[in-house]
Amino acid sequence: MSMSLGPGQTVVDVGCGPGTDLSRMADLVGDDGLVVGFDADPVMITEARARTAGRPNVQIHAADAHALPLKDASVDRLRVERVVQHLSRPSHAFAELHRVLRPGGVLAVADPDWDTLVIDDPDTETSRAYGSFVATHVVRNGGIGRALARLAVEAGLEVRSVIASPVVFTDFATGDPILQLARVMSRAVESGAVDPQAARQWLDRMGSGPFLAAFTFFIVVAQRPFLS
């Protein structure tokens, strides 16, 4: 996602996971800048530290997105990718993002909207039940993608752009590791959301026939107003 990184900036990646993007951001801010990655999961912290070892302008710390250990107005750029969907209090987290951004600072936040998940199958009822189960029971905030821009505005930020980007899988081998069809379908059956026989037949067709699944990923860039 684009948030115009440049030399000397302080950039914070909230929910940085294994730190996949930290080195690229560190190159862009240079020796006078600083990249800080926060994550709540100690396993991710260890991975991110290993991935960025030897980079003096990168720091990784354990922290919760709802309570960032940062001073007010201390950050130039904030990145929050595929994290808000997991948070217990998204509005609270957005208030925290606003607090730590300096006036004029920029937030880039992105999440899928699982309510947009479509999976092609002749049994449309089972596909719909599966999608609805994912959005309602598998992901904590399944429909957060479309709400990101509103949450940013409610926190006092000005939205600069909203991109809705389709994610499309046209083969089972690529889509299944992300969607985990068998595991999620078994939960849907257990909960009574899908008939067991229909689920078995649906899964057989997923693995054997033509495959198409898609959902929408929302990317929002927002700025803290200069006079705030």
Ligand X SMILES: C[S@@+](CC[C@H](N)C(=O)[O-])C[C@H]1O[C@@H](n2cnc3c(N)ncnc32)[C@H](O)[C@@H]1O
**196-208 vs 181-190: helix crossing angle, rounded to 10:** 170
Residues that bind ligand X (rule: CB under 6 A) add up to a total of 16
Where are the extended beta strands (E) located within the chain?
10-14, 34-39, 58-62, 75-81, 101-119, 158-169, 213-223
Q: Is 177 in the site for ligand X (CB under 6 A)?
A: no
Q: Is 125 in the site for ligand X (CB under 6 A)?
A: no
Cβ-based nearer residue to ligand X, 1 or 118: 1
Q: Provide the 8-state DSSP code for 217.
A: E
Q: Is 82 in the site for ligand X (CB under 6 A)?
A: yes
Q: Is 81 in the site for ligand X (CB under 6 A)?
A: yes
Strand partners, 106: 77, 223
Minimum gap (Å) between residue 199 Cβ and ligand X:
26
Cβ-based nearer residue to ligand X, 39 or 115: 39
Minimum gap (Å) between residue 23 Cβ and ligand X:
13
Q: Is 195 in the site for ligand X (CB under 6 A)?
A: no
Cβ-based nearer residue to ligand X, 21 or 121: 21
Choose the stretch contacting ligand X; rule: CB under 6 A; options: 15-23, 25-33, 158-166, 173-181. 15-23
Tell me the C-alpha distance between 221 and 138, whole Å: 27
Q: Which of 34, 39, 147, 172 is in the footprint of ligand X by CB under 6 A?
A: 39
Residues in CB range of 169: below 8 A, 6 or more apart: 175, 178, 179, 211, 212, 213, 214
Cβ-based nearer residue to ligand X, 18 or 131: 18
Residue nearest to ligand X (CB): 17
Minimum gap (Å) between residue 22 Cβ and ligand X:
10
Q: Is 16 in the site for ligand X (CB under 6 A)?
A: yes
Cβ-based nearer residue to ligand X, 18 or 33: 18
Q: Is 20 in the site for ligand X (CB under 6 A)?
A: yes
Q: Note the Cα 39 to chain centre separation in Å.
A: 13
What kind and span of H or E run contains 184?
helix 181-190
Strand partners, 10: 34
Residue-wise DSSP of 9-51: -EEEEET-TT-TTHHHHHHHH-TT-EEEEEES-HHHHHHHHHH
**CA end-to-end distance (rounded Å), the chain:** 25
Which residues sit at the interface with ligand X, rule CB under 6 A? 15-17, 20, 38-41, 44, 64-65, 81-83, 86-87
